[in-house]
Chain A
Amino acid sequence: MTLDVKQAAPPPSGRKAALSEPGRGSSSKRRFSGRTALTLLAFLAPAAVFVGIFTYYPMIAGSQMAFRNWNLNDLSDTSWVGFGNFQSLFDAPEFGTIVRNTVVWVVGSLVPQVVIGFAVALFLKRRFRMRGAYQAMIFFPWAVSGFLIGMLFRWMFNAEFGVVNDLLMKAGLIGSPIPWLSDPGFAMTAIIIANIWYGVTFFAIMILAALQSVSDEMYEAAALDGAGKVRTFFSITLPSISTTLALTILLRVIWIFNFPDIIFAMTGGGPADQTHIITTYMIKITQEGDYGKASALGLIVMVTLMLFAAFYLMAVRFRKADR
């Protein structure tokens, strides 16, 4: 099978321009009859109903819980507590660790993903025999759920019977087995390694698609001007794909931020709550039944990510205006 990312490049804008042409005039809207409008409404309704009831309603209902004393274990008093839940979150001794872990988790996973993904994309840019098969094979981590990835790595990082220690010892890099998942520092390293393993492909594929949309003429011109490989990379390759790269990274930051699955499976936030990130901690609080506090944390996450989302959408619009 082949995996031709070339097709993934945005289609030439010719047809799109033609599509919006009829409406371009006084307003950019396309004219259609009332009957058509009803049909369109009917087409949109099911999606709106589902997303409204099962996504937006709980999100909004959750927001007001954040300001109440809402504990599943004791519902006798669900009074309004203002910012009390937020206060007790900030006051918890582990909160600093959790925020720090979240940053380490996001940055520590993202940077290697981008660098390795970029390298893979550069190497894959030129066609070679079996390239399609190769791409299909490095696609494999995507088929595995985050939870299972966590389990695979939990087993491989097992201190006693884990294959990682065995290989490291065989290679003579370590003398005795490392207690990967029972030492906080090593545990953080292990979960980040698992996440890097999962995310490299995403960047490789997105960057490859962007690279393939850069025209060969640019490279030919650079070669004629006598630019070396390094110069070509920094003056042509990087600027040409910078927007895609920036958007992909933003999107990915949000995903990694929201990705508790691997940690949940590998360490469960342990040892001694030392590997919790915000989202795993939130799941822990939810499972303990303190919906008020969990919602408060959810609200913090939501606001943080909304800011990211706003930035993302603005960047997209900016890019479109730039064309």
Chain B
Amino acid sequence: MINSPTLIGRVSKVVFLGLCLIVTVFPLYWIVVTSLKEPGAIYSLPLDYWPKQLSLDNYIGLFTKSDFGQYMLNSLVVALVASSVATLISLLSAYVLARFQFSGRGAVLGAFLITQMIPGFIALGPLYLMMTDFGLVDSKTGLILIYIAICIPFCTIMLRGFFENVPDALEEAAMIDGCSRLSALFRVIVPVMLPGIAASFVFNFVNCWNELFLSVTLMNSDSNKTIPTALAGFISSFNIDWGSMSAAAVLTVVPTLVIFAFASKFIVQGLTAGSVKG
């Protein structure tokens, strides 16, 4: 691979990478195009690869015929609160796990890693019953609490990787100057680690924003439904309204796409640091 690339090599590279890019981006393109077609034009042949007439009817219908605005707001509140709290809690646990050797450290890490291999819905039934006992079924608070618990393990593992890149002399100096451990952490280390913390937060946010099975199981009233639950409702009816569906899909994906574009560098860093190192 150190030899200078031949013409064939270069052409095949461009063709291959180009093809991959087209295949990757095309579904997004197609859903945007579908959402901008007039409802009638979606179900007409031959297919238009670019709508003759752009229309916002699907988007307008989404907000006037369903409570999509409310769902978006619910998703935003749930994802924002859960991911903030989870990031804060994980920051503390990651700090301990990155900085100190103590007996039981391996067990804690192992317990966190195991949750990554066994997803939440395996305990869907018991969780539902537990939330019923707490009176937290169909409640945003209940969903937030569960999401926090789901986010913590991976967020801790990710943040631990970032902590290892910050020299511990930093907080030791602050503590010699009279800071408590907590204030040393927040005044000295957090500012240095901000990109990593932001990435972890974004990762949590996107996971909460996209989570489906728990919210479908727990949420049922329109005032509490999150976007994925609402979208799942779209398919339970026999005929899917692909116009509204595609408009809803675009509105759901765009926010995450924008945040990912800003934070992907750090997310990649965290993912590879967390799992390559183990």
- How many of chain A's residues have a CB under 8 angstroms from any CB in B? 123
B271, A54: Cβ atoms closer than 8 Å: no
Within 8 A of B (CB), among A85-125: 116, 119-120, 122-125
Contacts A54-B149, A283-B121 given; does A291 touch B126 at CB 8 Å: yes
**A136 CA / B265 CA spacing, docked (Å):** 8
A62, B253: Cβ atoms closer than 8 Å: no
Cβ distance A210 to chain B, nearest Cβ, rounded Å = 7
Q: Which residues of A contact B13 (CB under 8 A)?
A: 123
Looking at chain A's contact residues, is the secondary structure mostly helix, strand, loop, or mixed? Answer: helix
Cβ distance B265 to chain A, nearest Cβ, rounded Å = 5
Specify which of B101, B120, B231 is in contact with A30 (CB 8 Å cutoff): B101
Specify which of B20, B93, B242, B260 is in contact with A143 (CB 8 Å cutoff): B260
How many A-B residue pairs have C-beta atoms within 8 angstroms? Tell me. Answer: 296
Contacts A5-B268, A313-B110 given; does A163 touch B30 at CB 8 Å: yes
Instruction: Report the interface size class on chain B.
Output: 35 or more
Contacts A62-B125, A308-B117 given; does A51 touch B153 at CB 8 Å: yes
The verdict on B176 contacting chain A, using a C-beta distance below 8 Å, is no
Contacts A120-B20, A229-B1 given; does A32 touch B100 at CB 8 Å: yes
B130, A58: Cβ atoms closer than 8 Å: yes
Q: Which residues of A contact B96 (CB under 8 A)?
A: 40, 43-44
Q: Which residues of B contact A15 (CB under 8 A)?
A: 164, 167
Cβ-closest chain A residue relative to B273: A8
The verdict on A148 contacting chain B, using a C-beta distance below 8 Å, is yes
| B42-50, B55-63, B64-72, B186-194: which lies at the interface | B42-50
Please, what's the 1-or-0 string for A139-170, where 1 marks a CB less than 8 Å from any CB in chain B? 11111111111011111101011010010000
Residues of B within 8 A of A (CB): 1-3, 5, 13, 16-17, 20-21, 23-25, 27-28, 30-31, 34, 42-43, 45-47, 89-90, 92-93, 95-97, 100-103, 108, 110-115, 117-127, 129-130, 145-146, 148-150, 152-153, 156, 164-165, 167-168, 181-182, 206, 209-213, 217, 228, 231-232, 235, 240, 242, 245-246, 249, 252-253, 256-257, 259-262, 264-265, 268-269, 271-273, 275-278
The verdict on A244 contacting chain B, using a C-beta distance below 8 Å, is yes
Cβ-closest chain B residue relative to A279: B121
A283, B124: Cβ atoms closer than 8 Å: yes
Specify which of A53, A58, A147, A316 is in contact with B210 (CB 8 Å cutoff): A147
B2, A200: Cβ atoms closer than 8 Å: no
Q: Which residues of A contact B152 (CB under 8 A)?
A: 47, 50-51
Q: Which residues of A contact B277 (CB under 8 A)?
A: 10
B111, A254: Cβ atoms closer than 8 Å: no
Cβ-closest chain B residue relative to A149: B27
Contacts A147-B232, A291-B126 given; does A4 touch B278 at CB 8 Å: no
Looking at chain B's contact residues, is the secondary structure mostly helix, strand, loop, or mixed? Answer: helix
Specify which of A8, A124, A244 is in contact with B269 (CB 8 Å cutoff): A8
A51, B210: Cβ atoms closer than 8 Å: no
**A116 CA / B150 CA spacing, docked (Å):** 31
B115, A51: Cβ atoms closer than 8 Å: yes
B261, A1: Cβ atoms closer than 8 Å: yes
16 cross-chain CB contacts under 8 A: A1-B264, A2-B265, A8-B268, A54-B127, A62-B123, A123-B17, A136-B261, A139-B268, A143-B260, A144-B256, A151-B245, A151-B249, A154-B240, A206-B272, A258-B119, A261-B213
Cβ-closest chain B residue relative to A297: B122
Please, what's the 1-or-0 string for A237-252, where 1 marks a CB less than 8 Å from any CB in chain B? 1000000100110010
**A161 CA / B239 CA spacing, docked (Å):** 14
